[in-house]
């Protein structure tokens, strides 16, 4: 037994989250792609069966009221809230992340213009996941703004009296770099602008502190570290003291103060409900609700501690096993700058990932040359990490 195998055994034995793995459907594949699609929680199939057969099949329309379907977006938002450091009443679940980026960015420009009508720039993280950039472009055209791309580290240099809104990713999807949410939020506020954070790669992986750091608006998906399933609905956070001024560009009837009043004129509901649009996707939404039960008794702090230990150990194993110079690490080594993934660059990354998957180690490939490995602390163990690095070294040899 090698030294690293022994170390993995010790780390697994001391892992306080180890028992959580049994709450997921897993096999002997090393699954390091939870930053794309989280694994299936054991509770989900049975819950969906009930939702379909009893709630839909037997109760039918009654489920909207008696079964709590109508209030699911806010109820599930409140279940996500503590995971991202938000008090209740500020998060609604629904629609895709892309749609919520649209609501948040247009809403942010409208908020900024209440006090600065001349503001006409939307600043966007230059390395953003593409959908955010595409939507910011469209939001800019609709609001008479221009988009200004910037590396997050240079953000303070471009902020000014013209900045209306700033859209940033908390963790970069490709490199795994964690951006400094507290200081960047403070810089945006000092310029009198409104910030929107995309939490897709941090929600459920590390502490976010939305309320603590005074974030205005945030969006995130639920199918990565929150394990809600393929295409599960996203979430939108609107800070409590901005809700009354939040003017959604998609004011569907579900966000109306009195939706069943069927009135021709629009009056926005109070609270987080104002972020809703139309009829929620109940099957996906209630699958997500069941998936979130794995968080009972788990703190985000414990998840973060294990996440850092997993990524540290993976880097240590890669360093020990992989021939020198064969890959270079794109993810920052400093804990304060690392999300819950490790990205390694190598010229033949596409082929390498195909061969890794054939050998039971699943990560993903991001164009043009990045191998991405995501570590979900609720179900990934240290022995698996050692095995992944060992197989990677064999494939690269
Ligand atoms: C940072 C980020 N934003 C947005 C998305 C996707 O948005 P949507 O849920 O609308 O597909 C992803 C991943 O798919 C992402 O990584
Ligand atoms: N949302 C996805 C999908 O529908 C299919 C495949 C992958 C995804 C992803 O989530 C990709 C992911 N956001 C990324 O960071 O690359």
Ligand 2 pocket, residues with Cβ under 6 angstroms: 36, 129, 173, 200
For ligand 2, atom 7: residue with the closest CA:
36
CB 122 within 8 A of CB 146: yes
Best of 38, 131, 202, 284 for a ligand 1 pocket test (most atoms within 8 Å of beta carbon): 131
Concatenate the DSSP letters of all residues of 82-123 into one string. GGGT--TTSEEE-S-HHHHHHHHHHHHHHHHHHH-TT--EEE
Residues forming CATH 3.40.640.10 domain(s) in the chain: 50-295
- Residue 322 to residue 395: CA distance in whole angstroms: 9
Residues forming CATH 3.90.1150.10 domain(s) in the chain: 3-31+299-396
Return per-residue pLDDT of the chain as tens, 397 residues. Answer: 799 999 999 999 999 999 999 999 999 999 999 999 999 999 999 999 999 999 999 999 999 999 999 999 999 999 999 999 999 999 999 999 999 999 999 999 999 999 999 999 999 999 999 999 999 999 999 999 999 999 999 999 999 999 999 999 999 999 999 999 999 999 999 999 999 999 999 999 999 999 999 999 999 999 999 999 999 999 999 999 999 999 999 999 999 999 999 999 999 999 999 999 999 999 999 999 999 999 999 999 999 999 999 999 999 999 999 999 999 999 999 999 999 999 999 999 999 999 999 999 999 999 999 999 999 999 999 999 999 999 999 999 9
- Residue 149 to residue 155: CA distance in whole angstroms: 9
Token readout for 123 is: 């600043």
**What's the 11 CA to ligand 2 centre distance in angstroms?**
30
For ligand 2, atom 1: residue with the closest CA:
36
Active site residue 382: no
Which backbone phi and psi does 89 adopt, to 5 degrees? 85, 10
| Atom from ligand 2 closest to the CA of residue 231 | 4
Q: β-pairing, 341-345 with 370-374? A: antiparallel
Sign of CA dihedral 318, 321, 327, 333: positive
Predicted-assembly ipTM surpassing the 0.90 threshold: yes
Counting ligands in written order, the one closest to the CA of 130 is 1
CA distances for 75 relative to 95, 234, 287, angstroms:
15, 14, 13
Q: β-pairing, 361-362 with 121-125? A: unpaired
Query: Max Cα separation, the chain?
Result: 73
**What's the 200 CA to ligand 1 centre distance in angstroms?**
6
Q: Which of 296, 256, 305, 263 is nearest to 279 (CA)?
A: 256
DSSP 47: H
CA distances for 109 relative to 37, 89, 131, 316, angstroms:
31, 22, 18, 45
CB 235 within 8 A of CB 219: yes
- Residue 190 to residue 339: CA distance in whole angstroms: 26
In CATH terms, 3-31+299-396 corresponds, of 2.40.30.170, 3.90.1150.10, 3.40.50.720, 3.30.390.50, to 3.90.1150.10
Alpha helix segments (H runs only) across 300-341: 300-321
Q: β-pairing, 146-150 with 91-93? A: unpaired
CATH 3.40.640.10 fits 50-295, yes or no: yes
Active site residue 223: yes
Binding-site annotation, residues for pyridoxal 5'-phosphate: 97-98, 129-132, 198, 201, 223, 253, 279
To the question of pTM greater than 0.95 for the whole model, the response is yes
């Amino acid at each position: 037994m090698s030294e690293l195998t022994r170390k993995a055994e010790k780390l697994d034995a001391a892992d306080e989250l180890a028992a959580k793995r049994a709450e997921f459907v897993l096999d002997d594949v090393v699954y390091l792609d939870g930053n794309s699609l989280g694994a299936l929680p054991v509770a989900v199939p049975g819950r969906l069966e009930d939702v379909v057969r009893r709630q839909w099949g037997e109760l039918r329309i009654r489920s909207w009221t008696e079964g709590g379907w109508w209030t699911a977006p806010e109820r599930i938002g409140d279940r996500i809230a503590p995971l991202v450091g938000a008090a209740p009443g500020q998060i609604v679940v629904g629609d895709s992340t892309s749609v919520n980026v649209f609501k948040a960015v247009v809403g942010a420009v409208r908020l900024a213009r209440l006090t600065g009508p001349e503001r006409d720039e939307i600043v966007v993280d230059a390395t953003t996941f593409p959908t955010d950039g595409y939507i910011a472009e469209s939001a800019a055209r609709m609001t008479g703004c221009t988009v200004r791309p910037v590396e997050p580290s240079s953000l303070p240099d471009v902020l000014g009296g013209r900045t209306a809104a700033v859209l940033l990713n908390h963790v970069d999807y490709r490199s795994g770099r964690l951006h400094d949410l507290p200081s960047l939020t403070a810089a945006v506020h000092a310029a009198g602008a409104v910030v929107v954070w995309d939490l897709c790669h941090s929600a459920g992986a590390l502490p976010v502190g939305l309320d603590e750091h005074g974030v205005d608006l945030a969006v995130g998906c639920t199918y990565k570290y929150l394990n809600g399933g393929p295409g599960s609905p996203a979430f939108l956070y609107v800070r409590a003291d901005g809700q009354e001024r939040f003017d959604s560009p998609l004011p569907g009837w579900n966000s109306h103060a009195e939706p069943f009043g069927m009135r021709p004129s629009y009056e926005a509901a109070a609270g987080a409900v104002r972020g809703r649009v139309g009829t929620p996707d109940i099957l996906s939404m209630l699958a997500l609700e069941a998936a979130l039960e794995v968080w009972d008794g788990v703190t985000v702090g414990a998840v973060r501690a294990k996440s850092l230990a997993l990524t540290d150990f993976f880097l240590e194993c890669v360093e020990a096993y992989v021939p020198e110079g064969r890959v270079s690490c794109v993810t920052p080594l400093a804990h304060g700058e690392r999300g819950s993934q490790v990205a390694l660059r190598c010229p033949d990354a596409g082929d390498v990932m195909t061969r890794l998957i054939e050998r039971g180690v699943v990560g993903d490939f991001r164009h043009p040359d990045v191998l991405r490995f995501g570590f979900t602390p609720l179900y990934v163990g240290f022995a698996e990490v050692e095995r992944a690095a060992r197989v990677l070294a064999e494939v690269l040899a």
